[in-house]
Amino acid sequence: MDNGNGLDVQGLDDVERVLGEMAPREAFNLTRSTVHVVAGEIAKDARRDMPVDEGDLKAGTKHKRERPRGDSVESTVRSREFYWRFLEYGDGPDGEEHAMFGKAVNKFAANRETILTQLFVKKLEQRLARLARQQGG
């Protein structure tokens, strides 16, 4: 991808190099945004596997961006309903192990590199489009 300024980027390694050298803060923000989107996808998959109940388990399951600690970024998936643990591990009233969070995490782990690459590229494209609009292009 050539932006017209003589900057030629041909792959993810080049993207990483350019962001690290020219825009480390932007790289950090893109990484943080990508991690948050991944947490959202895991929460969505977990909600899909949740049993229908009388409580608000599905509605109470959200992803939350945590404060950065040093160079690390973190987003968590949380449920405000205390009984999710019982359903997850099979200690609930039905005695069935639903493992909705475990299944969602395993699904992500199986395709981690592909998912992270796709989501990062999507976030990068969105950011570049936003910058182009801001500059009147």
Domain boundaries, the chain: 12-123
How much is the pLDDT for 107? 95
Site of tokens 């959200």? 62
Decide if pLDDT at 63 tops 60.
yes
Residue of higher predicted confidence among 13 and 99: 99
How much is the pLDDT for 93? 82
pTM (global) more than 0.95: no
DSSP codes joined into one string, 28-95:
HHHHHHHHHHHHHHHHHHHHHHSPP-SS-TTTTEEEEEPPPBTTB--EEEEES-TTHHHHHHT-STT-
pLDDT band, residue 46 (cuts 50/70/90): very high
5-28 confidence digits (pLDDT tens)? 445 556 667 777 777 777 788 888
